[in-house]
Chain A
């Protein structure tokens, strides 16, 4: 095959000390060839997912290797911008979708995905699940979970608020960064968190909180990278697991999550089989594999979330040093889908008054 021939040429050329330029050009050819050739003997399983899962340092590559060793198949990722995009792509493609699996939807997008009717029941035994809530969904299998929390800079803010109420009542010079519930998952998480704690008073509470909000970013990355890490505000809406990464990889204790006494809102990330997939059995096999240790051991430090099953001693030590919310707050996804627009409008109303 031309492709393997070219690849050999490049490998040889590296030892033969071809000029770097020639090597780059050859590499470019290879790249184009790889992306054009799609002939393989094994069945291919196509997974629609989002960037942080499929990234080189994310769980994606390790999971791919582990699954391919046991399935005699090829696992391919198609990387889309976010859970919302995965769903959008699925909807646009309808029954002709090339996806066998979708991985990376969450409790906020799940109901919309269900309503498309494009997903098939998983038939996976969910006994191994270790979530803060009971999970019995016929379509979606969780692969990780986390609590939303405010992460703070201990150097700027030695004494963070101890509850949502304290945060709302704090002096206005305490600045926080949040994300927009219209465009971001944590942003929606905070909206639901406030709604869960304050019910119909949420609007009024948002109005009080508003003066402390430095800005509302489009995505988590915008706020975390551009603002929080530049020291613009001492607190940012994030996950209770964020400090795990800073402690384990960056080796710093500087960033910690603030435990709030009202409890923390839960996010669960899920995967599902696409009904039109010709590889139904294989796709279900993957969902089963998803709840095994071989998949789950990559979740804590590579996805920076809690694993969906009990990893026992394999759970990295830093995860035992994270805050343990006193209560898990959670709306049924169907309820969120039903009220989402109304609640976002309530938030908009309060914030632009």
Chain B
């Protein structure tokens, strides 16, 4: 018979059996690997004959591969060089008006629909762009052409520099208070502060982050084509799309996917070999960080200038999007459930919210399983596969697997949510792995001795540390799914369109004003989601009788 007091018995805490930590995550990871293998395998199986030799004999393909790598490297380099000073400046200046909004916009950049952003960028930097106009009036000698490598890199920096800066900022903010105080008392500034404080905080985060951004740029598609200027600017993903959609050459597509898999996969393997878990996020312990010695006087002025330039860089295209979308949005009856925009919003959320939740739960399971050394390789690879394997290949594989049961529309929606969740995994993994690993070894051991295991461990030790990263992760999961067009287009959408599908329908039917409005609305919705995630998990105001925010092992023992 069940002992009613068994919850007190630490050894029988719910979910405390190691299997509960290992099995779900391992199963999910294996499922992802199986799906990917099926996708690629199915394509190869449908192909008449594979000829790997054609890959390196074709001048075109060699050019495609080298261009893909080159533009991705350049994008990563410039994004990082911009992001590091911005992150430091933001860390030095923890308080100024609009900082919160700037951070939300930085979080947003990754999930914005590309076609809308490209339109905004063109409006500012294009041939008729107004910044181009202003600059050529002031300095006539300066000639700038958006179309070509310039434009590709500019757009990639716009999407990725804010992401890098945002995550680096969190690494900087997670520097232990004791270290900050010591550095402050020693009067460290400038290069010394960088060497002692900032660089050690950024170093463990950077490899994973750069690999993530490299992969994003490597697999970039529409941006590269729109701003690339011609077919000379082609990424492997374009070649895969061409082979799959237009030539139905499945074998060729599978081969190209394998090339992509080996380049990006090799990079991730290298990053994993570098070992240290990417500490991407950590909680802040005090609301009043000790002051840094380098945030006053001239340094403050320089920081302000840098942050201003960065904010303008982010805001200008967004303003262009607002200016273009506002006329259409203002005339829409927003709360009328009959408008396509309203219905699309409901449908999008019906897919995106479950997808986001699913992604977060799956990530937690994978991270939990990843704590077991033997499972590590499997869970790590599974976490990044969805980013490297072209969605088209993945989708085709899934389709072949699920085909017999694809009848009802509801299942289609479920499948879309499932794939969206899978696509969000790599990002969420980056956000969650750090804080989970931030639980130091002594605390772990003490928790083990005290039998704080299973559910209690998650509830009392991990949850306070994970609450904020998880909220942000959920926002990313929902946001990525909300902006997704590829997967839903692949499986077909029964009934009302989702927001991105609506946007493309409007574009395809010349409804350019309505399309601009939909694009703006999508961005506003994303902004609301990120703000909500932030507000809901903001450090609560002082409540004298409330439970302490960060419960340590000691607290539990005394409780």
- Kindly list chain B residues whose C-beta atoms are within 8 Å of the C-beta of A32: 350, 410
Please provide the chain A residues from 6 to 56 with a CB less than 8 Å away from any CB of chain B in the complex. 20, 23-24, 27-28, 31-32, 34-36, 38, 48, 50-52, 54-56
Interface string of B272-291 (1 = CB under 8 A from A): 00000000000000000000
Partner of B128 from the list A57, A180, A219, A232 (CB cut-off 8 Å) is A232
Closest to B147 in A: A215
Asked if A321 is at the interface of the complex by the 8 Å CB criterion, the answer is: no
Interface string of A299-339 (1 = CB under 8 A from B): 00010100000000000000000000000000000000000
Separation of A203 and B127 alpha carbons in the complex (Å)? 28
Q: Is the CB of B510 within 8 A of A222?
A: no
Separation of A182 and B246 alpha carbons in the complex (Å)? 7
Q: Is the CB of B501 within 8 A of A51?
A: yes
**With A27-B337, A31-B347 as contacts: A230 and B115 at CB distance below 8 Å:** no
Asked if A168 is at the interface of the complex by the 8 Å CB criterion, the answer is: no
Q: Is the CB of B510 within 8 A of A84?
A: no
**With A20-B335, A58-B505, A225-B507 as contacts: A35 and B495 at CB distance below 8 Å:** yes
Interface string of A214-232 (1 = CB under 8 A from B): 1111111111111101111
Interface string of B227-243 (1 = CB under 8 A from A): 11111100000100110
Q: Is the CB of B494 within 8 A of A78?
A: yes
- Kindly list chain A residues whose C-beta atoms are within 8 Å of the C-beta of B494: 35, 76-79
Separation of A79 and B556 alpha carbons in the complex (Å)? 56
Asked if A1 is at the interface of the complex by the 8 Å CB criterion, the answer is: no
Asked if B177 is at the interface of the complex by the 8 Å CB criterion, the answer is: no
Asked if B214 is at the interface of the complex by the 8 Å CB criterion, the answer is: no
Please provide the chain B residues from 57 to 92 with a CB less than 8 Å away from any CB of chain A in the complex. 60, 63
Q: Is the CB of B226 within 8 A of A226?
A: yes
- Kindly list chain B residues whose C-beta atoms are within 8 Å of the C-beta of A77: 494
Q: Is the CB of B245 within 8 A of A226?
A: no
Asked if A93 is at the interface of the complex by the 8 Å CB criterion, the answer is: yes
Q: Is the CB of A221 within 8 A of B340?
A: no
Asked if B400 is at the interface of the complex by the 8 Å CB criterion, the answer is: yes
- Kindly list chain B residues whose C-beta atoms are within 8 Å of the C-beta of A87: 248
Separation of A302 and B63 alpha carbons in the complex (Å)? 42
Closest to B510 in A: A245
Partner of B408 from the list A36, A50, A183, A230 (CB cut-off 8 Å) is A36
Q: Is the CB of B226 within 8 A of A183?
A: no
Interface string of B305-344 (1 = CB under 8 A from A): 0000000000000000000000000000001010010000
Partner of A215 from the list B227, B238, B245 (CB cut-off 8 Å) is B227
Closest to A226 in B: B119
Asked if B409 is at the interface of the complex by the 8 Å CB criterion, the answer is: yes
Q: Is the CB of B403 within 8 A of A98?
A: no
Partner of A35 from the list B407, B409, B489, B507 (CB cut-off 8 Å) is B409
Q: Is the CB of A221 within 8 A of B242?
A: no
Q: Is the CB of B508 within 8 A of A222?
A: no
Please provide the chain B residues from 480 to 518 with a CB less than 8 Å away from any CB of chain A in the complex. 489-490, 492-497, 501, 504-512, 515-516
Q: Is the CB of A214 within 8 A of B505?
A: no
Separation of A276 and B61 alpha carbons in the complex (Å)? 39
Interface string of B207-238 (1 = CB under 8 A from A): 00000000000000110011111111000001
Partner of B407 from the list A98, A175, A231 (CB cut-off 8 Å) is A98
- Kindly list chain B residues whose C-beta atoms are within 8 Å of the C-beta of A205: none
Q: Is the CB of B396 within 8 A of A92?
A: yes
Q: Is the CB of A79 within 8 A of B512?
A: no
Separation of A85 and B491 alpha carbons in the complex (Å)? 9
Asked if A170 is at the interface of the complex by the 8 Å CB criterion, the answer is: no
Separation of A226 and B51 alpha carbons in the complex (Å)? 39
Chain A's nearest CB lies how many Å from the CB of B154? 14
Separation of A77 and B492 alpha carbons in the complex (Å)? 9
Asked if A204 is at the interface of the complex by the 8 Å CB criterion, the answer is: no
Asked if B106 is at the interface of the complex by the 8 Å CB criterion, the answer is: no
Q: Is the CB of A341 within 8 A of B225?
A: no
**With A226-B226, A232-B122 as contacts: A221 and B507 at CB distance below 8 Å:** yes
Q: Is the CB of B340 within 8 A of A56?
A: yes
Chain A's nearest CB lies how many Å from the CB of B116? 8
Chain B's nearest CB lies how many Å from the CB of A88? 6
Q: Is the CB of B230 within 8 A of A85?
A: no
Asked if A195 is at the interface of the complex by the 8 Å CB criterion, the answer is: no
The CB with the most chain A CB atoms within 10 A, among B408, B497, B508, is that of B508
Asked if A233 is at the interface of the complex by the 8 Å CB criterion, the answer is: yes
Partner of A229 from the list B232, B246, B512 (CB cut-off 8 Å) is B512
Closest to A30 in B: B346
Partner of A216 from the list B225, B340, B501 (CB cut-off 8 Å) is B225
Separation of A55 and B490 alpha carbons in the complex (Å)? 17
Separation of A107 and B501 alpha carbons in the complex (Å)? 25
Asked if B297 is at the interface of the complex by the 8 Å CB criterion, the answer is: no
Asked if B427 is at the interface of the complex by the 8 Å CB criterion, the answer is: no
**With A58-B509, A80-B489, A216-B231 as contacts: A31 and B346 at CB distance below 8 Å:** yes
Partner of B493 from the list A20, A79, A84, A112 (CB cut-off 8 Å) is A79
Chain B's nearest CB lies how many Å from the CB of A51? 4
Chain A's nearest CB lies how many Å from the CB of B55? 16
- Kindly list chain B residues whose C-beta atoms are within 8 Å of the C-beta of A35: 408-410, 413, 494-495
Closest to B486 in A: A81
Asked if A352 is at the interface of the complex by the 8 Å CB criterion, the answer is: yes
Interface string of A197-214 (1 = CB under 8 A from B): 000000000000010011
Chain A's nearest CB lies how many Å from the CB of B523? 15
Q: Is the CB of B489 within 8 A of A183?
A: no
Asked if B36 is at the interface of the complex by the 8 Å CB criterion, the answer is: no
Partner of B512 from the list A58, A216, A222, A224 (CB cut-off 8 Å) is A224
Chain A's nearest CB lies how many Å from the CB of B506? 7
Asked if A91 is at the interface of the complex by the 8 Å CB criterion, the answer is: yes
Q: Is the CB of B399 within 8 A of A92?
A: yes
Q: Is the CB of A183 within 8 A of B506?
A: no
- Kindly list chain B residues whose C-beta atoms are within 8 Å of the C-beta of A210: 230
**With A79-B492, A84-B246 as contacts: A216 and B350 at CB distance below 8 Å:** no
Q: List 27 A-B contacts (CB under 8 A).
A: A20-B335, A31-B350, A32-B410, A35-B410, A35-B494, A55-B497, A57-B511, A58-B509, A77-B494, A80-B489, A80-B492, A88-B244, A88-B245, A92-B396, A98-B406, A180-B225, A213-B230, A215-B226, A221-B115, A225-B515, A230-B122, A230-B126, A245-B510, A302-B509, A304-B509, A304-B510, A340-B247
A residues near B (Cβ < 8 Å) are 20, 23-24, 27-28, 31-32, 34-36, 38, 48, 50-52, 54-58, 76-82, 84-85, 87-89, 91-93, 96, 98, 112, 175, 180, 182-183, 210, 213-227, 229-233, 242, 245-246, 249-250, 302, 304, 340-341, 345, 347-348, 351-352
Known: A78-B492, A225-B507. 4 other contacts (CB 8 A): A20-B335, A36-B410, A80-B492, A221-B504
